[in-house]
Amino acid sequence: MKLGDMSVAIIIVSIILIIILPIPSFILDILLAINISLAVVIMLNTIYSKEALDMSIFPSLLLITTLYRLSLNITAVKHILSEGEAGQVIAGFGNFVAQGNIVVGFIIFLIIMVVQFMVITKGSERVSEVAARFTLDAMPGKQMAIDADLNSGLINESDAKERRKKIQREADFYGAMDGASKFVKGDAIAGIIITFINIIGGLIIGVLMRGEEIGTALEHYTILTIGDGLVSQIPALLISTATGIIVTRAASDAAMSSDLLKQIFGNPKVLFLSSALCVVLSLFLPTIPFLVLAAILALVGAALLKQQKEVQIHEEEQVQESEVEEIRKPENVVSLLQVDPIELEFGYGIIPLADVNQGGDLLDRVVMIRRQLALELGMIVPVIRLRDNIQLSPNEYVIKIKGVEITKCEIMLDHYMAMNPGGVEEEIDGIRTVEPAFGLPAVWISESHRDRAEMLGYTVVDSPSIIATHLTEVIKKNASELMGRQEVQTLIDNVKQNYPAIVDELIPKVMTLGEIQKVLANLLREGVSIRDMVTILEALADYAPATHDPDILTEYVRQALGRAISRKFINDSKSNVITIDPKLEQIIMESVQRTENGSYITIEPDVTNTILSSLSRQVQRLVELGQQPIVLASPVVRLYFKRMTERFLPGLIVLSYSEIDPNIEVQSIGMVSI
């Protein structure tokens, strides 16, 4: 075996031999000096350690040093009681503290003993106990955090293994410290007992066996007792302090001394206030000490303040340099290629509507728009980007879809918009305008006229409501463009959680994600909700094996959603509609051209104009009756008739007979013919 492997065993056996064998006084002096030096080295190591595990051997070291100190104590007691002296170290400590006055020396010694036992030792013991308890309680949470980081890919298996090992070491260390701290407490108690044994035993031996006077014996043995107690208690005090330091050591990247200076003397304001307090105290207490201390604190605070300003300037220069360097990198152009799906840009006058600190609620309204459209259309509206644009007029806003301006409008922030719902005959004074969402005539009125307008029956809305309504309608009209493959995948993943069978059957065996996206876009283009994704996917699974034409599949899906479509566009149990002449339907069907990329109709322009003129007359009749125009067509014609008329009448509702709920009674009041 190597000598290094046997060193600990040799040290422990030697300590035991010190207790048993007679040790000369000069060797005892050397051993006592080693004891004091070793305690200083241990305490300094705990101060400069960055974390507790840097001295993981500390619990065992605490046991060895305690045993070593007790062995020296026992040896010193043997010398004191048998020879009346215990070497120059013990005598020197006793005479230095006593200073010719045994009572003062003994009182000082008792104070040191009380501080050691009641303050340092008990405090270290309690801290060790609490640290061990909290470390063990935190182990499961730390283990779960490691597993989460491992599963997310933040660390690899070796890192996870190392971190688990460290957690286990921490638990073992604090558990061992909890037990080892009891050695310090026992050592302090043993020191107190040995003190009384030395004094009482010394008096008995000195008076009865050596014939000394009581005063002489008391003085002689008290000095030796004080010296022996100090020689053992000073290292014990250092070790107890080291114990408290290591168990209270918080995680840090620096040594304790640097943390102490940085955290205590790191704020110049604190130093300046302390300096001012010292100046005030100098007026009532001794002047010179407090004024000198005030000057030192003020100078240190000024130097620290200057240093912080230099560091701040240096950091700002580094940030500017890094920003310039970052801009120069060619890959930074990639971020400029990102196009926001929906943007709302506004002039600086509208900023208060979007600023929460100024009472604006436009952001909350945008959140409600996304919730409303999710319930109404069943679509996931992308994030709506709000930004100010100084190039716009102060009260102007612009709505963009995929970077392209769709519409713009200018509002009056200090006014309300009043709209006539149709039954109000009395006009109200104001600035004539047009409601941006639906193009209805409206009037800008001041706040003083708001109550009167509402009493007359006008619909009065504020500026945030105008913007929110306009934004909602723009999103509805462009919903088909906003329904991309990623959004479709999100919807399908949501369905798959509860209905995995239909998703697995349809995708990707029968249809691709892109084909489903086209069908959903066709539905949204005509305002049909896709919230019932289960029914939509069921219909596609039924008919997709026969055809992959998205237009035909859309018609099949509409038939499956017939009840929801009927209830959306027909509110009553009875409804007046416009039908299509069967001869016209035959002409439309004969004009359909089918290709690999889809189908379209080819009708002569004159015939198209005739159809549109006939349709306009029928639509006008329904409008005059105050009813919503609805056209009914056969299922095979509905789509092509809608496409033929949507450019001229984009809001026209075209339904097929198979989409009408059987419980709804429809009556034709007109027919489109040529």
Q: Is the pLDDT of residue 481 over 60?
A: yes
pLDDT digits (tens, 9 = 90+) for 582-637: 888 888 888 877 776 667 778 888 888 888 888 888 888 888 777 788 888 888 88
pTM: 0.52
User: What is the amino acid identity at position 480?
Assistant: S
Which residue matches tokens 């619990």?
A: 59
For 407-465, the DSSP string reads: EEEE--TTEEEEE--S---S---SEEEE-TTT--EEEEEEGGGHHHHHHHT-EEE-HHH
248 and 275 part of one domain = no
Structure tokens, 89:
């170290």
Residue 1 confidence (pLDDT): 47
DSSP state of 383: P
525 and 444 part of one domain = no
Burial of 602-627, coded b for 16+ CB within 10 Å and e otherwise, reads: ebeeeebebbbebbeebbeebeeeee
Q: Is the pLDDT of residue 166 over 80?
A: no
The beta strand positions in 317-373, using DSSP E, are 342-346
Structure tokens, 105:
């020396």
User: What is the amino acid identity at position 135?
Assistant: T
Please state, in angstroms and rounded to a whole number, the distance separating the CA atoms of residues 55 and 246.
8
Is residue 551 within 8 Å of residue 639, measured between CB atoms?
yes
pLDDT-derived band at 251, boundaries 50, 70, 90: very low
pLDDT-derived band at 62, boundaries 50, 70, 90: confident
φ/ψ of 54, rounded to 5, equals: -65, -25
Which residue matches tokens 């220069």?
A: 317
Q: Is the pLDDT of residue 402 over 70?
A: yes
245 and 124 part of one domain = yes
Q: Is the pLDDT of residue 341 over 70?
A: yes
Strand order in the sheet with 396-401: 384-388, 342-346, 396-401, 404-410
Most confidently modeled range among 47-56, 289-298, 490-499, 561-570? 490-499
Please state, in angstroms and rounded to a whole number, the distance separating the CA atoms of residues 543 and 519.
13
Structure tokens, 614:
């006939």
| CATH number of the domain residue 373 falls in | 3.40.30.60
pLDDT digits (tens, 9 = 90+) for 512-563: 888 899 999 988 888 888 888 999 999 999 988 888 888 888 889 988 888 8
> Of the residues 262, 281, 304, which one is the last residue of a structural domain?
262
Q: Find the mean pLDDT for residues 276-286.
A: 76
Decide if 566 is inside a domain: no
376 and 462 part of one domain = yes
Range of weakest confidence among 4-18, 380-394, 447-461, 545-559: 4-18
Q: Find the mean pLDDT for residues 302-330.
A: 75
Sign of CA dihedral 603, 609, 610, 611: positive
Decide if 147 is inside a domain: yes
Cβ neighbors of 201 (< 8 A, separation 6 or more) are: 77, 81, 221
Helix (H, G, I), strand (E, B) or coil at 412: coil
Share of the chain above pLDDT 70, in %: 75
Q: Find the mean pLDDT for residues 433-455.
A: 88
Please state, in angstroms and rounded to a whole number, the distance separating the CA atoms of residues 338 and 342.
12
> Of the residues 458, 480, 502, which one is the last residue of a structural domain?
480
Decide if 66 is inside a domain: yes
Pairing mode, strands 665-672 and 574-580: parallel
pLDDT-derived band at 398, boundaries 50, 70, 90: very high
Q: Is the pLDDT of residue 281 over 80?
A: no
Number of structural domains the chain divides into: 5
| CATH number of the domain residue 510 falls in | 1.10.8.540
183 and 244 part of one domain = yes
Decide if 35 is inside a domain: yes
Which residue, 479, 475, 482, 471, is CA-closest to 362? 471
Q: Give me the half-sphere count of Cα atoms (radius 13 Å) on the Cβ side of residue 623.
A: 8
Share of the chain above pLDDT 90, in %: 3
φ/ψ of 388, rounded to 5, equals: -85, 150
pLDDT-derived band at 236, boundaries 50, 70, 90: confident
Q: Give me the half-sphere count of Cα atoms (radius 13 Å) on the Cβ side of residue 204.
A: 8
269 and 256 part of one domain = no
Is residue 195 within 8 Å of residue 231, measured between CB atoms?
no
Sign of CA dihedral 344, 350, 356, 361: negative
Q: Which residues on neighbouring strands pair with residue 631, listed in sequence order?
A: 578, 654
Please state, in angstroms and rounded to a whole number, the distance separating the CA atoms of residues 18 and 24.
11
251 and 194 part of one domain = yes
Please state, in angstroms and rounded to a whole number, the distance separating the CA atoms of residues 381 and 374.
7
If you count them, how many residues does the chain have? 674
pLDDT-derived band at 131, boundaries 50, 70, 90: low
470 and 357 part of one domain = yes
38 and 110 part of one domain = yes
443 and 532 part of one domain = no
Q: Is the pLDDT of residue 117 over 80?
A: no
Q: Is the pLDDT of residue 331 over 80?
A: no
What are the angstrom distances between the C-alpha of 393 and each of 184, 362, 412, 433, 471?
79, 19, 11, 17, 18
Nearest 5°: the CA angle 619, 624, 628 is 55
Decide if 162 is inside a domain: yes
Please state, in angstroms and rounded to a whole number, the distance separating the CA atoms of residues 515 and 553.
10
Range of weakest confidence among 95-109, 361-375, 452-466: 95-109
> Of the residues 560, 585, 620, which one is the last residue of a structural domain?
560
Q: Find the mean pLDDT for residues 265-286.
A: 75
Is residue 434 within 8 Å of residue 385, measured between CB atoms?
no
pLDDT-derived band at 397, boundaries 50, 70, 90: very high
Helix (H, G, I), strand (E, B) or coil at 307: helix
Which residue, 637, 634, 612, 623, is CA-closest to 669? 623
Range of weakest confidence among 114-128, 355-369, 429-443, 517-531: 114-128
Prior bond to 341 cis, omega within 30? Answer: no
544 and 518 part of one domain = yes
Structure tokens, 249:
């050591």
Domain range holding 396?
342-480
Decide if 624 is inside a domain: yes
Residue 41 confidence (pLDDT): 81
Decide if 207 is inside a domain: yes
Q: Is the pLDDT of residue 2 over 60?
A: no
Q: Is the pLDDT of residue 435 over 80?
A: yes
Helix (H, G, I), strand (E, B) or coil at 381: coil
In whole numbers, what is the pLDDT of the chain averaged over residues?
Answer: 78
Range of weakest confidence among 338-352, 431-445, 523-537, 588-602: 588-602
Decide if 475 is inside a domain: yes
430 and 445 part of one domain = yes
